[in-house]
Chain A
Amino acid sequence: MPAIEVTSLSKTFRTKRKAAGLGASLRSLVRPEFRTIEAVRGLSFEMEPGELLGFIGPNGAGKSTTIKILTGILFPSGGEAKVLGYVPWKQRRQLAYHIGTVFGQRPQLWYHLPAIDTLTLFGKIYELDDRQTKRRIAELAEAFEIEDLLETPVRKLSLGQRMRCEVAASLLHKPKLLLLDEPSIGLDVVAKQHIRDAIRTMAAQENVGVLLTSHDAGDLEALCKRVIIINHGQIVYQDKVSALKRSFLTSKLVEVRYAQQVGADFRIAGTETLKVAKERYGVKLRFDARITPVGKVMAALSAAGTLVDITISDPPLEEVIAAIYQKAENRE
């Protein structure tokens, strides 16, 4: 049985429309105008138990709405969904015992209390006995390296420290599925890395499935095996992360540094020169590896002078995803 099964899921919101100014406010009081926003439009997908699935999309794409329907927070306008065999909006409480949720913008930890107090309360909420709760807190504290933070009021923790405590809290009751909505929002690079490592380790150790929404491609690269990209409430792409890279990361970037100066009009056949450095020792090029083999480019670069340094890289995943969004927009 799949962990998540979604068929033709849709959600529309009705919002009031009002032009600027007091006059319009008064008019809208007498005769309000509404418009319908389709946040999710006929979404269908499946997720296997223990899978690490990324849900990527720009702001307003429908990622959070989908996660909120899957946790039973929102009622859908149409379609069907089953999470661990439960219909979330009908069996919300039964489902809640088996899933963990983290909303990056909605801390679950009590702000004025140390995290240990919220964790203990969560133990009661999930009906664990006190010994079980204590043992589990110790396990999680070690995995997330939060032993020293547990007794500090949450308001005094840094955002990164707090998020580690948040994710730890969501795992207290050993859920089978973790739904993470923008877990790395607002974190710096080091804190992001820290939290990704901890999630990856725990998911592997306890065979927890992870559905993660983010608009940060780094989360996807670090954590997920498969990706669903949504925009305007619809799926625009779904495949393995490796396949996404293979089919879209066709161009390579090369940065070379020579022992002697090169000409300002430096050219290598089959490549595009992006930049020649001002002092004319360094050059940046791009080429399509399917048309011009890497070996051929290397040989030509080597023949052009004495190489001091060379780096070949893929363009960042952000660019790839932006290209996919663009393609989807153009189709519409």
Chain B
Amino acid sequence: MNDKLKMKILRYAVVAWTMIPFFAAAQKLTFTPQWTPQSQFAGYYAAAEKGFYRQAGLDVDIVHFSTSLNAVEMLKSGVSDIITCNLMEAMKQRDAGLPLVNILQTSMQSSMLIISHTPLDKGWLSLNGKRVGRWRAGYSAIASLVSREQELQIEWVDFLSGINLFMSGAVDATIAMSYNELFSIMETGTNVAENQLIRFADSGYNIPEDGVYVTESFFLKNREAVVRFAEATRKGWLWVKDHPEEATDIVMSVVRKHKIPTNRHHQRMMLAEILRLQCLPGETEPAFTLPEIQWDYLNALLLETGDIHKKIEYRNFIKQ
């Protein structure tokens, strides 16, 4: 074998190597959003539907949580590779020993609010002595913290989900998401005035929510695929921002497939609110990265609520 031939083979080898992503079988990934199908996850559905994952060499299977397992449990059990999770929940899990790492932050603001049957003219103080619904599944720790900080006597009523508890009049107020329950309540023909709401974002607890997470070990083993996933997801969300109606149609097709009782009006409104929450206050473009500047405050808050027991390092948690 002469040198010329060697060079030739080497050249072909180099070309073949660079072509690997195109010929190699796409990497399979299982993704689970933290709730039933709705516009909250429009970006992932769009990335799949529009082929952004495929273009990134990924074969993403979107599997929703079952009645027996939630998203975190699905990740733990190895059913899912990638999940979405609320930031506080993710930090809590990490503190509890599940080494989650954030590969993309889709929410920059808190959607949580308290909605009351009667006007809340004195803000949090108006809730003193009132019966207020909160989710049993979590996310409500911050509400409890606020009530402790403000020294309020609130009778918290834990419930599963939905608006029936509030609508039945069994509670005076309830915790709700600005992108979901608020609209559901409005859809019952109830007029909701701004003074019936307390938005956590306006009360100094504007804590980012949804993010995309993998386990640390999965991240180390599949770093490249995870990065491609995050990138394709980001692309999906940006496409949704530019095509809200088409995106709502995609969401509705997923919703119908999963027989989720909802309607397009609701999902369209939810999408608009989700897109708003993706931007920092006063901005119009999504950031997709958790600002490091909030990190110490967040840790302090969770240490205080008892959700975490020691500070989590930003660089260990954020792997973007």
Chains A and B are bound partners: no
Q: Which residues of B contact A (CB under 8 A)?
A: none
Q: Which residues of A contact B (CB under 8 A)?
A: none
